[in-house]
Structure 1
């Protein structure tokens, strides 16, 4: 089974309430050596997220506002108005970004990585079906999958590829060096070659796949790629 967020997330999460003061938020970040934290309501449901970036923007904006106090300012853009509002924020609820971008414990790590990349966020609060905070996952947590040894990756690729194709283990020779997988062997169908490459590429810790597989004949598989490796 591909690794999920619940396998790498931090369960003990530092969070805060909406009425926490600016200075208390700064203290929480500093004391716990973290760069962001979720904001929760009375039922521990996530309502927003605060990043240390917002606190730095607060300070920068305050300095800029002071310097331009006696200067006529042009009409602000939407993003500039948002930044100005954060500069005046005194509590977490005013400082946070909402709605919070969250994830489920059962999301695959690849899904979490896609969300972080597309939404340009450093962390995702993890919530249960009711929206309650149960953990947090960061980009650093996702990168840990690349710390797997080549031998661990090799064993995983062999198991998943041969199981997905329903072929003997000796049918595919798998080599791994620095996370780069090389596949060799003779398979029955061209579709098998393409499927083997896709399966190997989705194994945790794989950096790239080089396929030197060959095939006896052209043909199609009755089952889909998703069916082949969706429940291993």
Structure 2
């Protein structure tokens, strides 16, 4: 069924300590060709995240001493310039990082992690264990790969996992059609409660972006009349 963060995260994580210098953070990003990294304390607990955006923003601002110098004008009227290398010499990851760090756990669903990433506008999520220690990193690219499944793959999983295993129905009793990740379910199910179950479990299949319900109850079910009015598009 739905895949979890632990299946797609990178376990070999490049991280920094709060005392790591500006220059060393830049070297780490460049050497490993990454755009950001977590900052962990000596217990491997995540205390923040540093991105290329943080570095550029700090480089533009300069160090506190540089900003003070720029506030004083030379007799010529020009602003003082920061000393070359001053930012790199004085700033550490503690000064650069964004806090608090937004983290996820390995057992969380990928779809839920993607929502967290979108809500907070971040490109990567440190993955932590039950003691909040860093065990991996999940990037936007890692999570999006799950949603690149073909319609055929999605339809096959809905038939196998939802219709067959969850509902226990013959394969030909429910028609599953998929277009661009939108799943349409049609056919008759024996019990009224099978309809919300089918919809809910279909949403849990990776790559599904929406479900259109065309299911109805069989005539011998006492709730058949209710089921006849439950069709339509459903969303989480």
Same fold per superposition (TM over 0.5): yes
**CA–CA distance in structure 2, aligned partners of residues 89 and 188 of structure 1:** 70
**CA–CA distance in structure 2, aligned partners of residues 96 and 169 of structure 1:** 53
Q: Name the structure 2 match of 1:60.
A: 60
Compute the TM-score of the two structures, normalised by the length of structure 1.
0.77
Compute the TM-score of the two structures, normalised by the length of structure 2.
0.76
Deviation at 1:184, TM superposition (A): 1.8
Q: Relative to 1, partners in 2 of residues 1:87 and 1:58: Cα closer, same or farther, differing over 3 Å? A: farther
Q: Name the structure 2 match of 1:11.
A: 11
Which structure has the larger Rg over C-alpha atoms? Answer: 2
Structure 2 counterpart of 1:207, from 206, 209, 212 = 209
CA distances 1:160-204 after superposition (whole Å, capped 9, x unpaired): 322333322221111223322222212234443333223212210
In the TM superposition, structure 1's runs of 4+ consecutive aligned residues that sit over 3 Å from their partners are: 62-68, 86-89, 188-191
Contact 1:126/1:137, CA 8 A, preserved across alignment: yes
Q: Name the structure 1 match of 2:151.
A: 150
Contact 2:22/2:89, CA 8 A, preserved across alignment: no
Q: Name the structure 2 match of 1:38.
A: 38
Which stretch has the larger CA shift, 114-123 or 125-134? 114-123
Which stretch has the larger CA shift, 158-167 or 29-38? 158-167
Where 1:209 maps in the other structure, the secondary structure is strand
Q: Name the structure 2 match of 1:139.
A: 140
**CA–CA distance in structure 2, aligned partners of residues 14 and 21 of structure 1:** 15
Q: Name the structure 1 match of 2:27.
A: 27
Structure 1 counterpart of 2:196, from 194, 197, 202 = 194
**CA–CA distance in structure 2, aligned partners of residues 103 and 186 of structure 1:** 39
**CA–CA distance in structure 2, aligned partners of residues 66 and 184 of structure 1:** 69
Q: Relative to 1, partners in 2 of residues 1:117 and 1:31: Cα closer, same or farther, differing over 3 Å? A: same
Q: Cα RMSD (Å) of the superposition?
A: 2.8
Q: Name the structure 2 match of 1:173.
A: 175
Q: Relative to 1, partners in 2 of residues 1:202 and 1:87: Cα closer, same or farther, differing over 3 Å? A: farther
Contact 1:101/1:125, CA 8 A, preserved across alignment: yes
Contact 1:15/1:38, CA 8 A, preserved across alignment: yes
Aligned ranges 1:114-125 → 2 under 5 Å: 114-125=115-126
Contact 1:57/1:87, CA 8 A, preserved across alignment: no
